[in-house]
Chain A
Amino acid sequence: MPKIKLADSTVQTIREICKKYDNKEGELINVLHNVQEKLGYLPAEVQEVIALELNMSVAKVYGVVTFYSFFTMIPQGEYPISICMGTACYVRGAEQVLNEFKRQLKVEVGQTTPDGRFSLSCLRCVGACGLAPVVMVGDKVFGRVAPQQVKDIIAEYHEGCPHEAKSA
């Protein structure tokens, strides 16, 4: 695993978050949530700092990170794409939309394209059921998305997407 060197300020941020939770092992999930919110993801080096601060083994931290699907160890893409998998979206075809994103971007859920532009994730209900199925790219919401529109959404963020260029 290639090691990344965390900036001192990042380490400081993590420490502060841990401190906010009294450096308690029992608060691990909250700490992870907060840190991921700040940094976007939880690479190994970040988990090591958290383990040290909460005085627990890094294996346990990693165990929790891999148990919950909302934690990720991969940096988010420049444009994080999230597909709502709530009941309403699901019954109106969210899965097909997701599969189309996977196909076009050639990544799985939880992964980021090699060029770092897009990452793919699933969400639980975002409360926009009237618009189902819902896709979010960053903060922007796309409603009533059909698989056929996926190409256009990607293109909007990525002029001359390499996969498209090939098939053209």
Chain B
Amino acid sequence: MEIINLTIDNKPVVVKKGTTVLEAATSIGIHIPTLCYMKLEDLNIENRPGGCRVCVVEVKGRRNLAPACCTEATEGMEVNTHSIRAINARRTVMELILSDHPADCLVCPKSGNCDLQNMAHRMGIREIHYKGEQSSYRKDTSPAIIRDIDKCIMCRRCEMMCNEVQTVGVLSAINRGFNSVVAPAFEMNLDHSVCTYCGQCVAVCPTGALTEVDETGAVIRALSDPSKTVIVQTAPAVRAALGEEFGMEAGTLVTGKLVAALRRLGFDYVFDTDFAADLTIMEEGAELLNRLTRHLQGDPNVKLPILTSCCPAWVKFFEHQFPDLKDVPSTARSPQQMFGSIAKSYFAQQLGVRREDLVVVSIMPCVAKKYERGRDEFSVNNNPDVDYAITTRELAALIKISNIEFRALPNEEFDKPLGESTGAGVIFGTTGGVIEAAVRTAYEVYTGKELPRIDFHELRGMEGLRHATIDFNGLPLNIGIAHGLGNARRLLEDVRSGKSRFHAIEIMSCPGGCIGGGGQPYHHGNSEILVKRQQAIYREDSNKTIRKSHENPYIKKLYAEFLGAPLSEKSHHLLHTEYFDRTK
């Protein structure tokens, strides 16, 4: 390994050959401003178009200023990041970017979380010396995402996520010069495109150009309607991230405070999507074993591998891109939808309220869940199983609007019966978790023996594609895991061509799984945050007394009292779904 010596702001620094000036500076605590550049180290995701020029620095002996994010450190280099020339150039660049930006920060949904705003603040911009023309693209509102691209600064992070990471290819830079923005083909609405609503473009957009549809107002109205019983479910990944919105360290588990906050907001029952995740395992696990048994008996019609189906962006992805495989994924609904379905049938009956008077709100790390809850097949007589789905970020906003001092809240417990869950339900929040939860249950049901161990470390991690073989009492079960839709595509192509050797595959659209969902607190390019959230999820799992879905006493009760057995007719009706070919 070749070593490079250089100085940055007179400080000596030693780096590996190939390191950029930006990375070298960061390594000694000098933070050069950046806008278009973004690197999610642990996920191997990088955006480096070198377009914005906010990162320029002065290099001794060079005539032109150098963009730090795409200039390699060389031996003997002397870099000055805050010479008057660098500061002035950076400010000019910033002022030019701001000159055609709609400066309505006070009412912008991104205010307080906007990289552009933060950068302008950090650089001490007090005046914009250039007056630019303002573009006036129309706002595009879809079921989950709003595009307000007058605020686009052409960093192209979203384009990279949508094309390279997700391989969906909805977004592309269009037009030129002043008019250039990132948009779908023919500037069509996202709603008409093959967009999956994974929200990864929203997760990385530095400005208010891409944001989620805001449902907080509707939730406040529902909560203040005395004729409604309003219940809430919170997805596993929310508890591992919500604290960040209140200045807590990434990876802090705030389950108890989360419950307390929801109760103070006025929800009549505070339940847990983890309960529904346990239910998903019962159904999906049974389906896996059913297909496996038939396969072992030589049934040629059985479809293997089975693919998980709890991620709505993934579902929409294969409906558009692999419609020929639409009978391969599990038919189990996602936990959000299982929860809604059971809440509006079983639980409404228990309470003695009509489904129309029961409002189900979801707190999700995800923007695709907004789209999912609106799918036609998830409503009965035009009454949706889930009425509103708000993101972790929207929940934080609700808590702030309601003057709740989050950090000072006590820890409280979920309500029964739909709030009881196991460690298997919790790990749904991270890549690898759904399949580990399924293995814990399927193993015991299949072999009739107790698992010798509960933790399957071979299924965990952050690599985009992983695989492991688990011994089911002599039957080697091959398991594949993909997160990020580009990785999913690779596994799907093998399935399509008949090359796949897996029995079961878990797929989550977001890099990292739901902990990295499009509705989570913004990571601002720091992937360590995702790693810490993942660790928190596994911590929560090990803290649970019950860690296998089939041992959840309220799940057993639900089957005994209401559903019968997994894959029963009632289960099929309430907990399973069908998929559609969306190429037509």
Residues of A within 8 A of B (CB): 1, 44, 47, 56-63, 66-67
CA of A60 to CA of B172, assembled, Å: 5
Q: Which of the residues A1, A44, A56, A63 comes within 8 Å of B174, measured between beta carbons?
A: A63
Question: What are 22 contact pairs spanning A and B, CB under 8 A?
Answer: A1-B186, A47-B185, A47-B186, A57-B163, A57-B168, A57-B170, A57-B172, A58-B169, A59-B169, A59-B170, A59-B171, A59-B172, A59-B183, A59-B185, A60-B163, A60-B169, A61-B185, A62-B174, A66-B174, A67-B174, A67-B175, A67-B176
Query: In the complex the two chains form, is A62's CB within 8 Å of B186's CB?
Result: yes
Q: What 3 A-B pairs have minimum CB-CB distances, sorted nearest first?
A: A57-B169, A59-B172, A63-B172
Interface centre among A47, A57, A58, A60, by most chain B C-beta atoms within 10 angstroms, is: A57
Residues of chain B within 8 A of A58, CB atoms compared: 169, 185
Query: In the complex the two chains form, is A62's CB within 8 Å of B185's CB?
Result: yes
Residues of chain B within 8 A of A57, CB atoms compared: 163, 168-170, 172, 185
Interface of A, secondary structure class, is: helix
Query: In the complex the two chains form, is B184's CB within 8 Å of A59's CB?
Result: yes
Residues of chain A within 8 A of B184, CB atoms compared: 59
Query: In the complex the two chains form, is B169's CB within 8 Å of A66's CB?
Result: no
Q: Report the minimum CB–CB distance from B181 to chain A (whole Å).
A: 10
Q: Is the CB of B77 closer than 8 A to any CB of chain A? A: no
CA of A62 to CA of B182, assembled, Å: 11
CA of A66 to CA of B179, assembled, Å: 10
Residues of B within 8 A of A (CB): 163, 168-176, 183-186, 188
Given contacts A56-B169, A57-B163, A57-B170, are A1 and B176 in contact (CB under 8 A)? no
Residues of chain A within 8 A of B186, CB atoms compared: 1, 44, 47, 62
CA of A1 to CA of B192, assembled, Å: 11
CA of A98 to CA of B386, assembled, Å: 58
Query: In the complex the two chains form, is B175's CB within 8 Å of A66's CB?
Result: yes
Residues of chain A within 8 A of B171, CB atoms compared: 59
| Chain B residue at minimum C-beta to C-beta distance from A62 | B185
CA of A57 to CA of B193, assembled, Å: 11
| Chain B residue at minimum C-beta to C-beta distance from A47 | B185
Query: In the complex the two chains form, is B188's CB within 8 Å of A63's CB?
Result: no
Residues of chain A within 8 A of B183, CB atoms compared: 59
Q: Report the minimum CB–CB distance from A69 to chain B (whole Å).
A: 8
Residues of chain B within 8 A of A67, CB atoms compared: 173-176
Residues of chain B within 8 A of A60, CB atoms compared: 163, 169, 172
Query: In the complex the two chains form, is B188's CB within 8 Å of A1's CB?
Result: yes
CA of A1 to CA of B187, assembled, Å: 10
Q: Report the minimum CB–CB distance from B490 to chain A (whole Å).
A: 15
Residues of chain A within 8 A of B174, CB atoms compared: 59, 62-63, 66-67
Residues of chain B within 8 A of A44, CB atoms compared: 185-186
Q: Report the minimum CB–CB distance from B155 to chain A (whole Å).
A: 16
| Chain B residue at minimum C-beta to C-beta distance from A63 | B172
Query: In the complex the two chains form, is B169's CB within 8 Å of A63's CB?
Result: no
Q: Report the minimum CB–CB distance from A134 to chain B (whole Å).
A: 25
| Chain A residue at minimum C-beta to C-beta distance from B173 | A63
CA of A110 to CA of B184, assembled, Å: 21
| Chain B residue at minimum C-beta to C-beta distance from A56 | B169
CA of A55 to CA of B176, assembled, Å: 24
Q: Report the minimum CB–CB distance from B185 to chain A (whole Å).
A: 4
CA of A123 to CA of B172, assembled, Å: 27
CA of A148 to CA of B373, assembled, Å: 63
Q: Report the minimum CB–CB distance from B452 to chain A (whole Å).
A: 47
Residues of chain A within 8 A of B172, CB atoms compared: 57, 59-60, 62-63
CA of A56 to CA of B169, assembled, Å: 8
| Chain B residue at minimum C-beta to C-beta distance from A59 | B172
Given contacts A60-B169, A60-B172, A62-B185, 17 further A-B contacts (CB under 8 A): A1-B188, A44-B185, A57-B168, A57-B169, A57-B170, A57-B172, A57-B185, A58-B169, A58-B185, A59-B184, A59-B185, A60-B163, A63-B172, A66-B176, A67-B173, A67-B174, A67-B175
| Chain A residue at minimum C-beta to C-beta distance from B171 | A59
Residues of chain B within 8 A of A1, CB atoms compared: 186, 188
Residues of chain B within 8 A of A59, CB atoms compared: 169-172, 174, 183-185
| Chain B residue at minimum C-beta to C-beta distance from A57 | B169
| Chain A residue at minimum C-beta to C-beta distance from B170 | A59
CA of A47 to CA of B183, assembled, Å: 16
Residues of chain A within 8 A of B163, CB atoms compared: 57, 60
Residues of chain A within 8 A of B188, CB atoms compared: 1
Residues of chain A within 8 A of B176, CB atoms compared: 66-67
Q: Report the minimum CB–CB distance from B215 to chain A (whole Å).
A: 28
Q: Report the minimum CB–CB distance from B134 to chain A (whole Å).
A: 20
CA of A47 to CA of B188, assembled, Å: 14
Residues of chain B within 8 A of A63, CB atoms compared: 172-174
| Chain B residue at minimum C-beta to C-beta distance from A48 | B185
| Chain A residue at minimum C-beta to C-beta distance from B193 | A59
CA of A165 to CA of B185, assembled, Å: 40
| Chain B residue at minimum C-beta to C-beta distance from A44 | B186
Interface centre among A1, A44, A63, by most chain B C-beta atoms within 10 angstroms, is: A63
CA of A47 to CA of B170, assembled, Å: 14
| Chain B residue at minimum C-beta to C-beta distance from A68 | B176
Residues of chain A within 8 A of B169, CB atoms compared: 56-60
| Chain B residue at minimum C-beta to C-beta distance from A1 | B186
| Chain B residue at minimum C-beta to C-beta distance from A60 | B172
| Chain A residue at minimum C-beta to C-beta distance from B163 | A57
Q: Report the minimum CB–CB distance from A161 to chain B (whole Å).
A: 31
Residues of chain B within 8 A of A66, CB atoms compared: 174-176
CA of A59 to CA of B163, assembled, Å: 10
Q: Report the minimum CB–CB distance from A150 to chain B (whole Å).
A: 28
CA of A13 to CA of B171, assembled, Å: 28
Q: Report the minimum CB–CB distance from A71 to chain B (whole Å).
A: 11
Residues of chain A within 8 A of B170, CB atoms compared: 57, 59
CA of A66 to CA of B186, assembled, Å: 9
| Chain B residue at minimum C-beta to C-beta distance from A61 | B185
| Chain B residue at minimum C-beta to C-beta distance from A69 | B176
Interface centre among A47, A56, A62, by most chain B C-beta atoms within 10 angstroms, is: A62
Q: Report the minimum CB–CB distance from A96 to chain B (whole Å).
A: 23
Residues of chain B within 8 A of A61, CB atoms compared: 185
Q: Report the minimum CB–CB distance from A66 to chain B (whole Å).
A: 5
Q: Report the minimum CB–CB distance from A13 to chain B (whole Å).
A: 21
CA of A47 to CA of B173, assembled, Å: 16
Interface centre among A44, A47, A60, A66, by most chain B C-beta atoms within 10 angstroms, is: A66
Residues of chain B within 8 A of A47, CB atoms compared: 185-186
Q: Report the minimum CB–CB distance from B420 to chain A (whole Å).
A: 45
Interface centre among B168, B172, B184, by most chain A C-beta atoms within 10 angstroms, is: B172
CA of A44 to CA of B173, assembled, Å: 16
CA of A43 to CA of B175, assembled, Å: 16
